[in-house]
Structure 1
Amino acid sequence: MGKFDKSSDVATDMIFKFIKDRMKEKQITQFELAEMIGINESTLIRNFKKETAMPLATYLKICGALELRPYLIPAEADKNYMQRMFFN
């Protein structure tokens, strides 16, 4: 296992939970989201289950569809839980 594998796994879980919560908030199903971003629902489900890695392009399309901003925050400015996950 690589140096950042555990951090990556935990962060992926957090991001996917946030996306799913946002889907509930906006009342969008996985099928509807998949249609909105132009992928198969089965692909999206495999991404969420971490059976296949989600491409960055898919993540960015999801952010657009759910009206989320995929900001990159410098480590020195980050004061939340993810800072403690040894990404820096």
Structure 2
Amino acid sequence: MTLKGKWLLLFFIDNLLFFTALAIDSLPMYFFVIALSFYIYKNGRTVLFKEYDERKKRKLAEYQLIQEAAKKTIRTGRLFKKEKEL
């Protein structure tokens, strides 16, 4: 089993425990599920959501590039003005 498969299995078990805790209304189980979820978030997030994080970083870089271009255009005031010919 791959590393991603192990984290997915642990995530699936965590979800089952969460719904079980809701069904039986067990306070200690709530805390266990919260602790397990936090552990998965801290240690397994990079493995489980690697592709999503890469796409998010690319979109953020594109957005920042567009934002910088817009700021430059606003500062120079050249959005709708034609340059004068000599």
TM range (shorter): 0.3 to 0.5
Q: Higher Cα Rg: structure 1 or 2? A: 2
Normalized per residue, the structure richer in helix is 2
TM-score, normalized by length of structure 2? Answer: 0.37
TM-score, normalized by length of structure 1? Answer: 0.36
